[in-house]
Amino acid sequence: MPSIDDVTDAPDELSDERAEELLEEADLVQDMMGEVCPYPQVEAKKGLQKIDSGELLVQETDHVPCTENVPRAVGDDAEARVWRSGDAKYRIYLRKQ
Amino acid sequence: MISTIVVAAVVGIGLGVFLQKGRFCFVNAFRDFFAYKDSRVTKGVLAATLLTMVFWGIAYQLGYYQGFWTPRWGLTGLVGGFIFGVGMTYAGGCASGTLYRAGEGYLQFWLTLLFMGVGYAGFTVAFPTLQTTYFEPLTFGEGVSLFAISPVPAGLLGVLVAVGALLVYATLIGRTGTRADAEERSTAASVRPAAMLAPLVGLQQFARGTAEYFRGVAEAARNPLEASKQPWDPRSAALGITAVAVLWFTQVSIVGVTGPEARWTGYLLSQVGVDAGSFEYWGSILFQGQGVGVTVDMVMIAFVIVGAALAALWSGDFSLRVPKRRRLPNAVVGGLMMGAGSRLAPGCNIGNIYSGIAELSVHSFIAAAGIVAGVYVMTHWIYREVGCAI
């Protein structure tokens, strides 16, 4: 399916089911609802410093730009996936490398 | 008058939609470039500014324009711009970003707008004093646009500056590419030709990137409804913003945000009984002695909020977002600094970085430098615990 994602360079999206599964096994969940950039970026970097390699950090956010900015901010430190509820709620999944 | 209102609605809604869909944010553009060398949004901002400059130059040369905004130049741009840059980085949204986020349902940015209003009002009260203690000593010359004084025709000048900027950009990305190649080969002889080829390599990369972008857009256009709900590339936003800015330039003026906001503050205060017209700054400068009322640019920026709200609703990004208490200082202090800074400069990120550079205004080059310096300092402060790339 052709998508605008081809030119936006956004991280891969998770299905609703997979997003729930992964949330349960998360090692650190950060509540970033109501927060705007750059604070979620800073918190993501701090959070990744706290967990071990292979562990999972999940940020819950309602700030759309975070779904692109946070994954780019952590760069190679983590593998990023996002989940969009379609209702202005998002989760960013960061698996520490 | 009715046709001007229609233009204001079209331009305002268009700006709101493109800003929201492209996440077109000047704080993001500079902050993330300083913090992570992430230049994606920066490129969008540069593309919009350069494209607008080319088209405004052509429109000016052909006589299809309504006027430039060229404040007198001096250190005011540097000082005010710096305060504005620190404020917008702290607040988490520039003047245009605050508008589109207000439209997306962020109560925090309505609070930012409110405190920007307090900043405008405070400035207005202090204006007579500032006039003698700040503006007079720090202003050196009459404001001017290079389009108006250059011996080169404006349209050609716009194209030349854009081509020059493209060559610098191509050299920079080309050099990064060739340096890596040269290190791999690690022979001194191959380094020199590689360095000279940098602009060519960069231009090739630029052409490839552009072609890829248009292929992506063409593919996305096969399924327009689906694609319109997804986030857009900042380059798409840049093209859209350029189109509505050209319409605005030929019909009304250059695009500004904080000037009209400062007028809104005066107008709203006059509605609750304040004699706004009796203050020198509102009466004779912002409303130019025409009386305190709703002007067409005020209508336009109100429609930016509407456009952003529509785009957010369409994409499923709209929601009433309540800020956390610990973020309230960002809205209050950031808003105040943006309000006051944009008056001290004068002009915000849109007036100075986008429109000001697109109209080659001498004042705006200085103010843009001030704003970027403010973002740089504040970014380092915010990221002090996790480190910055630059």
- Local confidence band at A6 (pLDDT 50, 70, 90 cut-offs): low
- Tell whether A77 is within 8 A of chain B (Cβ): no
pLDDT per position as a tens digit, B162-174 = 999 999 999 988 8
The mean predicted confidence, pLDDT, of chain B is: 92
- Tell whether A75 is within 8 A of chain B (Cβ): yes
| Minimum CA–CA partner of B219 in chain A | A2
Query: Taking CB atoms and an 8 Å cutoff, what residues of chain A touch B106?
Result: 36
- How far apart are alpha carbons B296 and B233 in whole angstroms? 30
DSSP of B268-336: HHHHTT--GGGSHIIIIIISTTS-S---HHHHHHHHHHHHHHHHHHHHT----BPPPGGGHHHHHHHHH
**DSSP secondary structure code for residue A83 in this structure:** E
- Local confidence band at B1 (pLDDT 50, 70, 90 cut-offs): low
Angle at B229 between CA B224 and CA B230, to 5 degrees: 100
Position B316 pLDDT exceeds 50: yes
Give the pLDDT mean for B93-109: 95
Q: Which residues have a Cβ under 8 Å from the Cβ of A29 and sit 6 or more positions away?
A: A23, A57, A58, A59, A60
Taking an 8 Å cut-off on Cβ atoms, the answer to whether A42 and B36 are in contact is no
Q: Please report the number of interchain residue pairs, chain A to chain B, with beta-carbon separation below 8 angstroms.
A: 117
Distance from CA of B331 to the nearest CA of A (A): 11
How many Cα neighbours within 13 Å face the side chain of A56?
A: 14
pLDDT per position as a tens digit, A51-81 = 999 999 999 999 888 888 899 889 889 999 9
pLDDT value at position A37? Answer: 84
Taking the model in full, what pTM does it have? 0.92
Spatial contact of B27 and A36, defined as CB atoms under 8 Å apart: no
- How far apart are alpha carbons B231 and B19 in whole angstroms? 11
This complex has an ipTM of: 0.86
| Minimum CA–CA partner of B326 in chain A | A35
Position A4 pLDDT exceeds 80: no
- Local confidence band at B52 (pLDDT 50, 70, 90 cut-offs): very high
Give the pair of three-digit tokens for residue B21.
Answer: 């869909």
pLDDT value at position A1? Answer: 42
Give the pair of three-digit tokens for residue B78.
Answer: 């540097």
DSSP of B88-100: HHHHTS-HHHHHH
User: Which SS3 state, helix, strand or coil, does residue B251 take?
Assistant: helix
pLDDT per position as a tens digit, B320-375 = 999 999 999 999 999 999 999 999 999 999 999 999 999 999 999 999 999 999 99
% of residues, chain B, pLDDT over 70? 95
**DSSP secondary structure code for residue B145 in this structure:** B
DSSP of B55-106: HHHHHHHHT-------PPEEHHHHHHHHHHHHHHHHHTS-HHHHHHHHHHTB
pLDDT per position as a tens digit, B272-283 = 999 999 999 999
Position B15 pLDDT exceeds 80: yes
**Beta strands A56-61; A28-32: pairing state:** parallel
